[in-house]
Amino acid sequence: MDDAQPILALDVDGVISLFGFEGPLAEVPGRFHLIDGMAHCIPDGIGERIGRLADHYDMVWATGWEDRANDRLLEILGLPGELPFLTFDGNARFGSAHWKIAAIDRYAGERPLAWVDDCIDETCQAWAVQRSAPTLLVSTEPDRGLTDSHVDALLSWVRAGYTA
């Protein structure tokens, strides 16, 4: 890790792997990939979006996938190497993100942190406000994931010296 850069904690489901589409499958915003026997919709351009952030952040997987995020996603996204990952001691709960706070907090310590997740809730927001280090929460819609506007906001936050 480069202590001079902020940390970017990335969720997978609802950020990189999309779900909850309405309408015909022909209109989904990406291609389906088989990962561990399950079809995942990975949006077009997501690898490039994440690549734009790589020079500005130390990225870490913050997902219930834990180490499995490095299995197929690296190839699909075109990432150059494995990312570190957080572990949650079996506490993963679909539909919320507050169970990730302790692991993210331990990993980030006193470093600036941006966290991208589709399940940011009031508990996450309260934790972010109480952190002594600059913290940016980026909430995504699970059927759209990480968009260009999210990437622009993340890059602006870094360029502005971690102020919202």
Which neighbouring-strand residues pair with 116? 10, 138
Q: Residue with structure tokens 């980030």?
A: 108
Nearest residue to 62 (alpha-carbon basis) of 40, 83, 85 = 85
Alpha-carbon dihedral sign for residues 11, 149, 107, 4: positive
- Rounded to the nearest 10 degrees, the angle between the axes of helix 122-130 and helix 101-108 is 20
Domain architecture of the chain: domains with CATH? 7-159 (3.40.50)
Taking only the tens place, the pLDDT of each residue in 155-164 is 999 999 998 6
At residue 32 the predicted structure's pLDDT band, cuts being 50, 70 and 90, is: very high
| 76 band by pLDDT with thresholds 50, 70 and 90 | very high
Q: What is the pLDDT of residue 74?
A: 94
Copy the structure tokens of residue 17.
């792997």
